[in-house]
């Protein structure tokens, strides 16, 4: 009888834990004005009585109108507020697209979440706001942290060092043409990106050192950084992007840098739940 009661109690406790492992969440469209342009933006937030940390989740290129990798829903269900937006000049957001505007958007997203009315309404822990991004978004999170003090905690998921691509384009015309043709395929009005791709790429190549994460590693060494990559990622090779940055930051004394690598490709399919849990744990390590 005692054994049966103990078994029943264990089952009941297990059911209780499983039912309370995830928070109820809601979403709300948010007014986000960046440099005078209205951006498409949405907040995913848990229904909790206490304040929660927040993460800005930035899209890859060309991105889309929705939840990058499904992480906003996963993280908000775990108790983290997630803010998603489209960069200036992309999808239904106003303005023009370029690297500089995308980095500014990241900074302005932090400023928005720290606004008193927003922070109080959605119970945001303004001392723990993370800028995160997938692919291009990860690159902009890291590069933005070089120039903007508002960006202190960064998660880059499959995020490249854009300078690596620049050097390849400068060294090989066929690589340049491959990238240019890809970017042109997404140009407005046939695509979702408001940009002159050729002008954008040529301007970037003339001053690509500005986005070189290794060159500017001194500006990153005192930040909290989580790098996430895929061992089978053929778009952003660990050996070319995340590992060199990790080693450089370690070499100059960075103490808050972490690198995670999953057995997956650039889609991160098959590991998203595990990745969400790792991100959750890292965000709360601050406390």
What does pTM read for this prediction?
0.91
Residue 21: what pLDDT? 61
Query: Is the separation of the CB atoms in 199 and 185 below 8 Å?
Result: no
As a whole number, the mean pLDDT across the chain is: 94
DSSP 166-186: HHHHHH-HHHHHHHHHHHHTT
Closest CA to 134 of 175, 180, 168, 84: 84
Six-digit token string for 120: 């109080």
- pLDDT at residue number 180: 98
DSSP type of residue 254: -
Instruction: Tell me the CA distances in angstroms from 120 to 25, 50, 123, one per residue in order.
Output: 17, 11, 5
| Model pLDDT for residues 209-247, shown as the tens digit of each residue | 999 999 999 999 999 999 999 999 999 999 999 999 999
The single residue listed with the structure tokens 């996963």 is 74
For the domain that residue 70 is a member of, what is the CATH number? 3.40.50.1820
The verdict on residue 189 lying in a domain is yes
Q: Is residue 244 part of a domain?
A: yes
On whether residue 5 sits in a domain, the answer given is no
DSSP 10-32: HHHHHHHHHHHSS--EEEEE--E
The answer to whether residues 155 and 226 touch, using CB atoms and an 8 Å cutoff, is yes
**Looking at the domain assignment, is residue 183 inside a domain?**
yes
138: nearest Cα among 286, 281, 279, 21: 279
Q: Flag whether 253 is in a domain.
A: yes
Per-residue pLDDT of 105-136, as tens digits, reads 999 999 999 999 999 999 999 999 999 999 99
Is 7 a domain residue?
A: no
Tell me: the pLDDT tens digits for 16-30? 333 336 889 999 999
Total structural domains within the chain: 1
Mean pLDDT, residues 191-205: 98
Alpha-carbon span 256 to 245, nearest angstrom: 13
Residue 93 to residue 243: CA distance in whole angstroms: 34
Range of the domain at 52: 25-285
Does 140 fall in a domain?
yes
Is the residue at 3 inside a domain? no
């Amino acid at each position: 009888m005692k054994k049966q009661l103990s078994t029943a109690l264990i089952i009941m406790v297990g059911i209780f834990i499983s039912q309370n492992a995830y928070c109820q969440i809601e979403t709300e469209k948010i007014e986000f004005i960046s440099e005078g342009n209205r951006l498409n933006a949405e907040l995913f937030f848990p229904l909790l009585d206490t304040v929660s940390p927040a993460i800005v989740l930035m899209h890859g290129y060309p991105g889309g109108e929705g939840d990058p990798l499904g992480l906003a829903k996963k993280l908000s269900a775990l108790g983290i507020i997630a803010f998603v937006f489209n960069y200036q000049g992309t999808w239904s957001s106003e303005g023009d697209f370029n690297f500089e505007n995308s980095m500014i958007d990241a900074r302005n997203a932090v400023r928005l979440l720290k606004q008193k009315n927003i922070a109080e309404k959605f119970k945001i822990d303004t001392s723990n706001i993370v800028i995160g991004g997938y692919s291009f978004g990860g690159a902009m999170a890291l590069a933005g942290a070089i120039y903007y003090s508002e960006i202190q905690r960064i998660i880059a998921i499959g995020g490249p060092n854009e300078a690596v691509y620049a050097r390849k384009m400068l060294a090989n015309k066929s690589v340049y043409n491959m990238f240019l043709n890809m970017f042109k395929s997404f140009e407005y009005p046939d695509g979702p990106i408001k940009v002159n791709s050729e002008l954008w790429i040529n301007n970037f190549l003339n001053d690509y050192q500005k986005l070189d994460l290794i060159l500017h590693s001194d500006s990153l060494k005192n930040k909290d950084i989580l790098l996430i990559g895929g061992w089978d990622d053929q778009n952003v090779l660990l050996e070319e992007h995340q590992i060199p940055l990790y080693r450089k930051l370690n070499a100059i004394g960075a103490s808050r840098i972490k690198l995670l690598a999953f057995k997956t490709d650039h889609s991160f399919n098959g590991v998203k739940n595990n990745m969400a849990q790792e991100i959750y744990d890292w965000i709360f390590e601050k406390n």
